[in-house]
């Protein structure tokens, strides 16, 4: 690949450090050096790419209050290069997650979602998503039943004022501080290229199904409730999660069937019961 054959040696020469690969997302290759992280976005095709994607992520980080982590953004051989400070931590794991990290995430998402954006959540968009997942999962009776239940709650979500949202806070994008690290937050949310206006409840649903659930469903629910209580209108936000959490599980199953079909059966076995339990056991009143 051009990234490793040509760009990587050039970066190592420019910064006088050896770079090692990190697990990256679909949009970019990621490498780490001495105190720095390098995201290399390939030239733009159908998705945001190249310098546009690198600048977009830097701008989104700054908007989210994380601008101090951005070092520089530039283009090299039509690739976009985003250089950030390296956070002294590692990906979320249940063993390393503690109350301090929960408090940090709670404060962060409340601040993030206080950034108002134009527009409201579209009713037609919600209907289209349910139709899409219902079609993809047409042969799963429990999925069809859940889609029908969620249709009853569209009006609770449609028209919600939008806020600035990360839109992908799963465990690979949540870093937890090393115990010995000093003067850094207990947790850090990374990978901001997909950030857009959305319903804050959707961000928290993805955080729940992709991160907090690793703690176990009971602890995940308690952590989610703790986070929600910090919002200006916690009861209203909480009720919307009855829609968004199960919908997010449906989205995950849809993704496996369309993108990674070999993992679809296991995804259904894991996610369908969780989606049904969340919906069926949901209490409209925030405990």
1 inside domain = no
Predicted confidence pLDDT, tens digits, the chain (287 residues): 556 567 899 999 999 999 999 876 667 899 999 999 999 998 876 567 899 999 999 999 999 999 999 999 999 988 999 999 999 999 999 999 999 999 999 999 999 999 999 999 999 999 999 999 999 999 999 999 999 999 999 999 999 999 999 999 999 999 999 999 999 999 999 999 999 999 999 999 999 999 999 999 999 999 999 999 999 999 999 999 999 999 999 999 999 999 999 999 999 999 999 999 999 999 998 87
* DSSP at 7: I
Quick check: 51 and 80 in contact, CB under 8 A?
yes
Query: Coil, strand or helix: which one is 194?
Result: coil
E strand map for the chain: 20-22, 29-32, 36-41, 70-76, 79-85, 89-91, 116-120, 161-165, 174-177, 187-189, 196-198
95 and 82, same domain (yes or no):
no
Quick check: 11 and 20 in contact, CB under 8 A?
no
Range of the structural domain that residue 43 is part of: 13-86
166 inside domain = yes
pLDDT digit string, tens, across residues 226-247: 999 999 999 999 999 999 999 9
95 and 36, same domain (yes or no):
no
218 and 120, same domain (yes or no):
yes
Which residue, of 86, 109, 138, is where some domain finishes? 86
Query: Coil, strand or helix: which one is 161?
Result: strand
Q: Which of 28, 231, 255, 10 is nearest to 129 (CA)?
A: 255
Q: Please give the tally of structural domains in the chain.
A: 2
Q: Which of 122, 35, 48, 136 is nearest to 87 (CA)?
A: 35
Q: Average model confidence (pLDDT) for the chain?
A: 95
79 and 203, same domain (yes or no):
no
Question: What's the confidence (pLDDT) of residue 77?
Answer: 87
pLDDT digit string, tens, across residues 1-46: 556 567 899 999 999 999 999 876 667 899 999 999 999 998 876 5
Give the CATH number for residue 130: 3.90.1200.10
| Residue 215 CB contacts under 8 Å (≥ 6 apart), including other chains | 94, 97, 223
The stretches of 114-198 forming alpha helices (DSSP H) are: 123-136, 141-151, 154-157
125 and 228, same domain (yes or no):
yes
Give the CATH number for residue 18: 3.30.200.20
Question: What's the confidence (pLDDT) of residue 278?
Answer: 98
69 and 112, same domain (yes or no):
no
Which residue, of 36, 61, 86, is where some domain finishes? 86
171 inside domain = yes
287 inside domain = no
């Amino acid at each position: 690949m051009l990234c490793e054959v040509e760009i990587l040696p050039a970066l190592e020469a420019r910064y006088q450090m050896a770079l090692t690969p990190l697990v990256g997302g679909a949009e970019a290759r990621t490498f780490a050096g001495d105190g720095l992280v390098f995201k290399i976005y390939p030239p733009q095709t159908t998705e945001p790419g190249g310098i546009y994607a690198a600048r977009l992520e830097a701008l989104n980080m700054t908007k989210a209050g994380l601008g101090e982590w951005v070092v520089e953004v530039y283009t090299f051989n039509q690739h976009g290069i985003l250089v950030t400070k390296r956070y002294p931590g590692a990906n979320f794991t249940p063993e390393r997650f503690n109350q301090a990290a929960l408090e940090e995430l709670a404060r962060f998402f409340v601040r993030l979602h206080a950034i108002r954006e134009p527009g409201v959540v579209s009713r037609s968009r919600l209907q289209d998503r349910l139709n899409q997942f219902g079609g993809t999962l047409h042969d799963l009776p429990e999925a069809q039943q859940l889609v029908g239940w969620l249709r009853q709650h569209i009006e609770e979500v449609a028209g919600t004022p939008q806020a600035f949202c990360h839109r992908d806070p799963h465990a690979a994008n949540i870093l937890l501080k090393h115990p010995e690290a000093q003067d850094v937050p207990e947790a850090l949310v990374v990978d901001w290229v997909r950030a857009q206006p959305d319903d804050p409840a959707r961000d928290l649903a993805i955080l729940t199904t992709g991160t907090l659930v690793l703690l176990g469903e009971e602890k995940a629910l308690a952590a989610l409730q703790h986070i929600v209580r910090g919002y200006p209108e916690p009861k209203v936000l909480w009720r919307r999660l009855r829609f968004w959490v199960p919908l997010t599980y449906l989205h995950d199953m849809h993704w496996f069937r369309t993108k990674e079909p070999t993992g679809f059966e296991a995804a259904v076995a894991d996610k369908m019961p969780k989606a049904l339990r969340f919906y069926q056991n949901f209490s409209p009143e925030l405990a």
